[in-house]
Amino acid sequence: MPALSTLHGATSTILSNLFINLPLPQPTPHLPHQTMIVTGANTGLGLETSRHLLHNGLGKLIMAVRNLEKGHAARQELVLEGVRRGGDREREEGRIEVWHLDMDSAKSVQAFAARCGGLGRVDGVLANAGIMTGTFRYKKRTQAFEQTLTVNVLHTMLLAVLLLPVLRASYARTGYAPRFVVPNSALHYLAPLGDGSESDTPILTRLNNPDLSLMSGRYPLSKLLVLYAVRELASRTSQTDLPVIINTPNPSYCVSGLARERAGNAAERTAEKWIARSTEEGSRTLYHGLVVAGGESHGGYLTNCHVQEPACHVTNQWGQKVQKQFFEELLATLEKIQPGISANI
């Protein structure tokens, strides 16, 4: 990775976290009528974003979770908070639903997307569920790709493309352009560029080879691939009559539970104490991408609640070439999961 890009990613994160106060989420006239989906909603950034949405008057929240027991516990927590703010218990309970979604499973993603088709409207999707691991593994025997690649990239984009017709239909009924939001990270500046992109071997094939994969950089690389996918998907959807805003905000380094594998690490604890944003602060950026950001954010990387240019290896000629190559491989992979899905774009 270019040294200047690495330096920029690190220094911008530290300076942002120490010196920039993010705007508090505010209600909008649309929220009381809207339905939003948050994946990974029972903990961390997903839970805090859900909390902001409800506090600011969201009409209906779909909490998409892998563990239903934990999801219902989080729902109960949010209901009680609403009651303490003076809300009617029956109304508070009625505006929060818990749905099952396992991002490890393509069948679960497909079933979830099909269920979303029964909603009257879907005004926003925060595809927050993700993992960070230094271990190369296939979690399920039937899983075709390494787990980080599967959850953070392939199945997240599967969900996005499956939901495009649902979001299009919602716009036709309401006139409101829905948002599809995928959290990103300044770690994309540090992604190991040689891992999957400097070979005649297809990118996904190389990334799925444990002997060729640098797992210490897999999470940053997954965020770089998300950037490529979001930018290319946005460029293709903007060429059609598809009023859906797709963006990828960076909540920055914050306390989220994502790095639980390193939770006992002394350096990690020290960094969290002195540099990391709180989970609530980080969630403000996701709320902004989901509720506040408009058409200017389509395909954009957002930092500190503003559209920002991503790393040069995203925007330069080399990055554009890799972006298109990766997206074609991504579409081919999604077609194997659900034939005909490319027609949704």
Q: List residues with catalytic annotation.
A: 219, 223
Sole residue written with tokens 């997903």: 46
**Contact between 46 and 38 (Cβ < 8 Å):** yes
The Cα 110–Cα 209 span in angstroms is: 26
- Token pair, residue 142, equals 């039937």
The Cα 174–Cα 188 span in angstroms is: 36
Q: Decide: helix, strand or coil at residue 96.
A: strand
Between vectors from CA 5 to CA 4 and to CA 7, what angle results, nearest 5°? 65
The Cα 79–Cα 94 span in angstroms is: 9
Task: Look at strands 124-126 and 35-39 and give their pairing.
Answer: parallel
Amino acid type, 4: L
